[in-house]
A and B are shown apart, each in its own frame.
Chain A
């Protein structure tokens, strides 16, 4: 084709959508017949505005879509740093700011949108900015270098992103929002509240219901603060307006084209304006009268316009306005009918204040379809939920599983192949699988990234189906972690293993999940660990309230709080050991362990101990063991505080507390630290002013030194912090995870613990304290309750049909004057002459 027959397309604006238009035109062959001239006002080629904030870390180059500075296709000409000043539909010409006039056959407006700056007095003072381009960010960075306080006007998605940027630039940052909650467009009140808590915990100040009446001018003519209606002025040397965006439709307006009522170039489903040779795509366009402030609909419009120019039937009929983003480390997502505006719609809410998670599903009246939802704090389910809305597939039987903590739920729902996974690039599940099979990748996840998790999961599932297994569940019966199980039990109020396994598991459990569930039920219900069906869930130690030893006998450990014991009680222990022929040893936890008790002897032994005032020492449980103490100020000439009294008080307070792993404490009366408190899960060391609290220590195979959580505490504060710390651990740690690795596993580590426990950043303090108060109030001695209950005692027999016959496998030899277990070399028979009572 000779050049004079070629047609010319002029694209105004080289932003995200203008770039996509050119890409599509090149890919689909439009440049075979058309030359393209792109005129962009910004000094650089198109870049990824969605991740604009990362400019501060990675620089402009990394964001560029066109690092070469030009397109490969020579038929595309890029004119940068040049503004289009107007166009004339009559002569089909555009006027560039340098005076150049360019003729067109088709004109594509892709001018995007501009931040809306409310016309408050002072809005244009030096120190006021918007947040839209790389140049804006460069200017903000420069201003922040000489400032200490900043404010963002607008608590929407972009405003929060800008606020976080200010914070990271080292400014004390305020967010001023007119609406009663943050992100008013996307999330509901409860979601907004959860979000605000997260954000405030990062040190930002959130002002909702706040109207800015003026930017206050300082002596040097720069912004120094924001005057609010009906509230005190807040200081701000850097002010960022993020109060919404307006389509840049001025060129179309000047040319007399039809505009939408609320702005934007009015276009049809193919992107054509009221002039058939002028098109508009992206944020400047209003298909059907509505503008879309997201990139995905803009990309769709670009593809449709190219299709239309090629004579294709493509149409843009509206877009999914779902959003997912990570704001200051907090996931936020909203999709579909997030506000339950569909008549009869039902809401299903899961909220975990401890973890800072809020999730809501909006479900159709008949409960069969997902209509939308809001996720704050954990949006891992978004990748599955959003396509479920779009493709209308039936909800599973337990829709709440979709928002219960990750691991199970959402990711297990089989999506149909045609379900759209990446809405930015319109990639379906089928596309991803096909690409994986061919060893290729798709564009899924490359734009906003919100579907990355889901895309990864689909690819993993594909590989798994090819024989490469990927498994993360705690055991085959529950695809959940301990924390997730804890939440599931709390949310549903389950009271038995049967309920839990029927609702959330498969099979009949095993030696891994059953003790975990027993421990969770114990922490939440505080009943006897041998109540109801709970006995069969327990490891043998918990089941017999004693520690099994190598020959099948048990050891008995009465509680000796703080290691303090009277001579009379010592004598009782000695007598019991002598009368039952037990081996005795002093433990590292300052108590006495009695070994070699046959199971059938345990009740008798304990009756003697209980009568003398002893209680269970819980040496057999994943529970508080001891609080070790030094001699303390009463006797020790160095002691500065009464460590023994405190150790006793703490041990009595937390006795019986079931936890993910055993728990130990220590109290030292001075800095000499004779109680080795820093080798404990919680350690308290006296100071002249009060007590220092250390957390996360342990001995054992992987020793850890406890680290300082808070210093110079009075007794009451110390106990409050300990209550919070222990409950926070119990709620969120994994199975068999001691406090040290638990702290390491938290996002933020020890600082995170301090935020929750000391600063009460999540506002959970009182809830955690109440949970501990419940434990303290409902504590009872398990052994006393057992020996008073004939039904429980029935279990403590050697043989069900010969309760008085000792197990012949158990025998002892003598070692250093005490008994020691003798290994049996095989099954032992008593012979057939034992008289056996008929049942």
Chain B
């Protein structure tokens, strides 16, 4: 569902309760596979589902946890960790996965445009 007004660039993908706490789902947003995660503290994050290390579309199936204060997902392939907030790979400074704006309205998860990171 794509709507106009301020939601113009946001796509509703699922209900929040379809994502397990510390789990992830894959959604199709504008033709791309996006991994959406929900953390224990109630935050929701979205990033590309494509793991550049294993070259497979799998990140939503990784284990979600924390490293220090950083919420992260570990790739189910070779366990590289990615910061859910920025997509930065925590094991390789040169690798980063694109992230997307995401918000929850009325229990519906909406994925927005790609985020810019410095």
Interface CB pairs A-B, < 8 A, 18: A476-B67, A508-B66, A509-B66, A510-B74, A511-B62, A511-B79, A513-B65, A533-B21, A536-B21, A799-B33, A810-B57, A824-B56, A826-B50, A826-B52, A830-B32, A831-B31, A839-B13, A839-B14
B35-55 CB contact bits vs A (8 Å, 1 = yes)? 010011000000010101011
Q: Complex: how many Å from CA A798 to CA B52?
A: 19
Known A507-B66, A801-B13, A826-B50: A540·B28 in contact at CB below 8 Å: no
Measured between beta carbons, the chain B residues less than 8 angstroms from A734 are none
B50–A535 CB distance below 8 A? no
Q: Complex: how many Å from CA A823 to CA B77?
A: 14
B102 at the interface (CB under 8 A from A): no
Measured between beta carbons, the chain A residues less than 8 angstroms from B23 are 535-536
Q: Complex: how many Å from CA A536 to CA B25?
A: 11
A824–B65 CB distance below 8 A? no
Q: Complex: how many Å from CA A511 to CA B31?
A: 29
- A-to-B contact residues, CB < 8 Å: 476-477, 507-511, 513-515, 533, 535-540, 543-544, 548, 550-552, 794, 798-802, 805, 807-810, 823-834, 836, 838-839
Measured between beta carbons, the chain B residues less than 8 angstroms from A807 are 26, 33, 57
Contacting A at CB under 8 A, from B65-84, are 65-68, 71-72, 74, 76-77, 79, 81
Q: In angstroms, how far is the closest chain B Cβ from the Cβ of A545?
A: 13
Q: In angstroms, how far is the closest chain B Cβ from the Cβ of A554?
A: 10
Q: In angstroms, how far is the closest chain A Cβ from the Cβ of B70?
A: 10
Q: In angstroms, how far is the closest chain A Cβ from the Cβ of B78?
A: 10
B89 at the interface (CB under 8 A from A): no
Q: In angstroms, how far is the closest chain A Cβ from the Cβ of B25?
A: 4
Number of chain B residues whose Cβ lies closer than 8 Å to a Cβ of chain A = 47
A801–B63 CB distance below 8 A? no
Q: Complex: how many Å from CA A836 to CA B57?
A: 19
Contacting A at CB under 8 A, from B9-35, are 11-15, 18-23, 25-28, 30-33
Report which residue of B18, B26, B48 has the largest number of chain A beta carbons within 10 angstroms of its beta carbon. Answer: B26
For the complex of A and B, the 10 pairs showing the least CB-CB separation, nearest first, are A540-B76, A511-B74, A510-B65, A809-B57, A830-B31, A552-B56, A838-B1, A800-B25, A827-B50, A507-B66
Measured between beta carbons, the chain B residues less than 8 angstroms from A810 are 57
Report which residue of A477, A536, A544, A794 has the largest number of chain B beta carbons within 10 angstroms of its beta carbon. Answer: A536
Q: Complex: how many Å from CA A162 to CA B18?
A: 68
B103 at the interface (CB under 8 A from A): no
Report which residue of A514, A533, A540, A826 has the largest number of chain B beta carbons within 10 angstroms of its beta carbon. Answer: A540
> In the complex, which residue of chain B has the Cβ closest to the Cβ of A802?
B28
B63–A809 CB distance below 8 A? no
Measured between beta carbons, the chain A residues less than 8 angstroms from B15 are 839
B30–A832 CB distance below 8 A? yes
Q: Complex: how many Å from CA A823 to CA B55?
A: 7
Known A550-B56, A799-B26, A801-B28: A544·B50 in contact at CB below 8 Å: no
Q: In angstroms, how far is the closest chain A Cβ from the Cβ of B57?
A: 4
Q: In angstroms, how far is the closest chain B Cβ from the Cβ of A834?
A: 6
B56–A809 CB distance below 8 A? yes
A827–B32 CB distance below 8 A? yes
